[in-house]
Amino acid sequence: MVSRLVLVRHAKTQARNPELIDKDRQLTRAGRYSIEARFPISLQLLADEDVAEVKVWSSPALRAMQTAEVVAHALGVDGIEVRDSLYANSVDAFMTELVEEQGTVIAVGHNPFMDELYARLSGAPQGMGTGAMASFGFAATDDPASVGSWLEWFVQGPRVVLWQSIVDVEDALSDAAARIARCSVMLLENPDDPESLHQYRISLRIARSLLGFLAPYCKGSALKKTMRDIKKLQDPTSRLRELDMLCEALDSQTVEARIVADACTQLRTGFIERFAAESTQKAITRVVGRIKDMPWRRCVRQSGLDAQELVRRVSQMRTDYELQMAHVGYDDQEAVHDVRKLAKALRYVTREFAELLPDTAEDTNTRAKAVQDMLGELCDCWNNAQLVIEICGPQAVQVASRFVVRADEIIADLKRSRSCGLAISDS
């Protein structure tokens, strides 16, 4: 007879599907993450065991086998024995098999088998959630009907929702990485299209915003390096984007428009040549890969990530924005630019992480976009006024003055809104 039996219920599994055989159902990513994090800790309760005396049994179902693999890896046990009794929910057949074994058996199976066997061995019911463990000691006997057992310890399964948050964030990062890859291809295929450049810049900005938001949870060195590399891709696009916007704002029939268009064409030719270079494309590929595989801090990987923590962080982000928006001097171009960046980051975070946030995040996203657009137009007017003089010379003063007048009108609107108490949270 075994001296110890550890019951392990398989981890969180994908939902039942009429098109999928039950035995082929797999662990969810969150389910696997949760036991990879918690099993090594729970199984320290077996630290006094000789690994050579430990056997890992599993139901033949894929989800149980996947769970058993995590158990075996955590303990350093070689091999997993498949036992049909664990899938057939046959407690009597299973107990007969135990009598024929020695040492410690760790059995990975399903409910209702686990709950039924727990109640029989302990004399009291206990619901075993996914990933739960219970250890029983046994008195020596050759009769399965008269087995003497006692509960040594019980560990309830992990709260999988904490690792589901990690999965949801990883999916959002994967989407952001895919967007960069997709937009870079679009730019290569349409090098003369200003909107392709714009979308490429947006894809980089979204990734930077998400990573900045996740800074407390991701490994610092990896995150900082990726942020720097994204900025290296983004910086060479800034001047060209500014010229594209100036071209769009000018009357195409004017001399200034033709001069700016020529400067824009010349700059675009050099940019596309550098963008298409192998070194740049490799840099984009590296960034895409790092975003997809951004490593978590050890404490996050082990304990999961509470969605409420993300909600609190968004709330703090929104508060910081509102404070800056309330006190910004609209004549201070740098300060306005900083507030605009905050609004932009808030917009992207609330949109890309929408599944993790309350319904009010949609309203925050809408208002952040409105503020970003208004401040963006203001910044564009300032840039256009400066650029047109820089490129065309003093002859463009009259054109530049029109941008300055429009900037003053926007500032007046913004000041009126603030005097009426209008902010991101108001109608």
Same domain for 368 and 228, yes or no, is yes
Same domain for 18 and 146, yes or no, is yes
Query: Mind listing the pLDDT tens digit of every residue in the chain (427 residues)?
Result: 899 999 999 999 999 988 899 999 999 999 999 999 999 999 999 988 888 899 999 999 999 999 999 999 999 999 999 999 999 988 999 999 998 899 999 999 999 999 999 999 998 988 999 999 999 999 876 665 556 789 999 999 999 999 999 999 999 999 999 999 999 999 999 999 999 999 999 999 999 999 999 999 999 999 999 999 999 999 999 999 999 999 999 999 999 999 999 999 999 999 999 999 999 999 999 999 999 999 999 999 999 999 999 999 999 999 998 888 888 888 899 999 999 999 999 999 999 999 888 877 888 888 888 888 889 999 999 999 999 999 999 999 999 999 999 999 999 988 887 654 445 544 3
The secondary element (H helix, E strand) that includes residue 105 is strand 104-109
Question: What local confidence, expressed as pLDDT, does residue 143 receive?
Answer: 62
Contacts of 291 (CB under 8 A, 6+ apart): 173, 174, 176, 177, 180, 207, 211, 226
Q: Judge whether 350 and 368 are in contact, CB under 8 Å.
A: yes
Domain C-terminal end among 104, 136, 158 = 158
- pTM (whole model) above 0.75: yes
Residue 397 included in any domain: no
Residue 233 carries which side chain, given as an amino acid letter?
Answer: L
Does a cis peptide bond (omega within 30 degrees of 0) precede residue 112? yes
Question: Per-residue pLDDT tens for 187-212?
Answer: 999 999 999 999 999 999 999 999 99
Same domain for 225 and 339, yes or no, is yes
Question: What local confidence, expressed as pLDDT, does residue 322 receive?
Answer: 87
Same domain for 255 and 237, yes or no, is yes
Question: What local confidence, expressed as pLDDT, does residue 284 receive?
Answer: 98
Number of domains in the chain: 2
368, with CB counted inside 10 A (0-12, 13-18, 19+), is buried
Domain C-terminal end among 95, 127, 158 = 158
Same domain for 284 and 317, yes or no, is yes
Q: Residue 127: which of 135, 119, 139, 138 has the closest Cα? A: 119
Domain assignment of residue 223, given as a range: 162-381
Same domain for 240 and 257, yes or no, is yes
Backbone angles phi, psi at 135, to 5 degrees: -110, 130
Question: Per-residue pLDDT tens for 64-85?
Answer: 999 999 999 999 999 999 999 9
Question: What local confidence, expressed as pLDDT, does residue 367 receive?
Answer: 83
Interstrand relation of 54-58 and 104-109 (parallel, antiparallel or unpaired) = parallel
Domain C-terminal end among 133, 158, 183 = 158
Same domain for 292 and 143, yes or no, is no
Same domain for 266 and 119, yes or no, is no
Buried/exposed code over 85-121 (b: 16+ C-beta within 10 A; e: otherwise): bbbebebeebbebbeeeeebbbbbbbbebbbebbeeb
Contacts of 327 (CB under 8 A, 6+ apart): none
Q: Judge whether 260 and 390 are in contact, CB under 8 Å.
A: no
Q: What CATH number is associated with residue 203?
A: 1.40.20.10
Same domain for 199 and 346, yes or no, is yes
Q: What CATH number is associated with residue 100?
A: 3.40.50.1240
Residue 204 included in any domain: yes
Same domain for 174 and 107, yes or no, is no
302: left (phi over 0), alpha (psi -120 to 50) or beta: alpha
Q: Judge whether 292 and 173 are in contact, CB under 8 Å.
A: yes
